[in-house]
Amino acid sequence: MPTVKLDWGVEGVKYALRDNDIVIIVDAIRFSSAVATAAAEGFTIYPVSDNEKGRALALEIGAELAGEASGTGFSLSPLSYIKNDRHPNKRVVLASPNGAACAALLKENDIGYIGCFLNAAAVARRAGREASESGRDITVIAAGEERAAEKDGRVYYVRENSGRVFAPEDYLGGGAIISYMTLPKDTDAILCESTFLAVRNRLRDLLMESYSGRWLLQNDAQKDLEYLLQINYYDIIPVINNGKIVNINNE
């Protein structure tokens, strides 16, 4: 019987792929939420780990490049993919050192999905069905975050030589997904699910007080935070296949 497991970041993805697991990547603030929204709007997303790789790939394949400097309007903000008709090319290269770096590791024969609060039940059902049919375990990957700190009441990220650290939004997003799975779960997955269920009614307040939530608030992105905390807003399943992410219904 397949088992649901929990792991962290890029290293967790590598272990999961070594074991031929089905992978669900959770980077709730904001990569996974942006991808789920983009998939719902008919976009194809090409994940890359940094902007330099993103520029090269966008030029190579003729895709739009997300980011403020690109001038496209696309970014890690999930709201940037809603009714953005200034650029009819619905192929976007999206860089992120966390979720996108994890997603970029999956190759043609791997099975991987992007999950968050917005599509927790949908991606859980799909992965659970695939695991039951294939016999593969599922590893839910909490992407983690760069180390954050506070100075003069403002949050900033320690970019240089920063390993990935615990991100409550990814842990709770993973717990939301796991809570909709009926397969056996290992200890880490059980604890993750239990934590989400215990704090579900306080989710908004807790994440607004997290480093990631406070960073969004101080950067005038409260609408992003309010939006991405909606549980099961979409019945969308973004699937990762050999360097690109699409809604599974549009494969």
Per-residue pLDDT, 162: 61
Per-residue pLDDT, 81: 94
Compute the distance between CA of residue 22 and CA of residue 19 in angstroms, rounded to an integer. 9
Domain boundaries, the chain: 4-250
Based on DSSP, count helices (H) and strands (E) in the chain, helices before strands: 10, 13
Compute the distance between CA of residue 214 and CA of residue 88 in angstroms, rounded to an integer. 33
Per-residue pLDDT, 251: 47
What residues in the chain have per-residue pLDDT under 70?
68-71, 85, 160-162, 250-251
Contact between 172 and 196 (Cβ < 8 Å): yes
Per-residue pLDDT, 69: 57
Compute the distance between CA of residue 50 and CA of residue 129 in angstroms, rounded to an integer. 33
Compute the distance between CA of residue 19 and CA of residue 136 in angstroms, rounded to an integer. 9
Compute the distance between CA of residue 138 and CA of residue 127 in angstroms, rounded to an integer. 7
Per-residue pLDDT, 85: 66
Question: pLDDT tens across 135-183, in order?
Answer: 999 999 999 998 888 899 899 888 766 678 899 999 999 999 999 999 9
State how far Cα 249 lies from the chain centre: 19
Structure tokens at 12: 């967790």
> 12-36 as b/e, with b when 16 or more CB fall inside 10 Å?
bbeebbeeebbbbbbbbbbbbbbbb
- Topology given in CATH for the domain delimited by 4-250: putative 2-phosphosulfolactate phosphatase (3.90.1560)
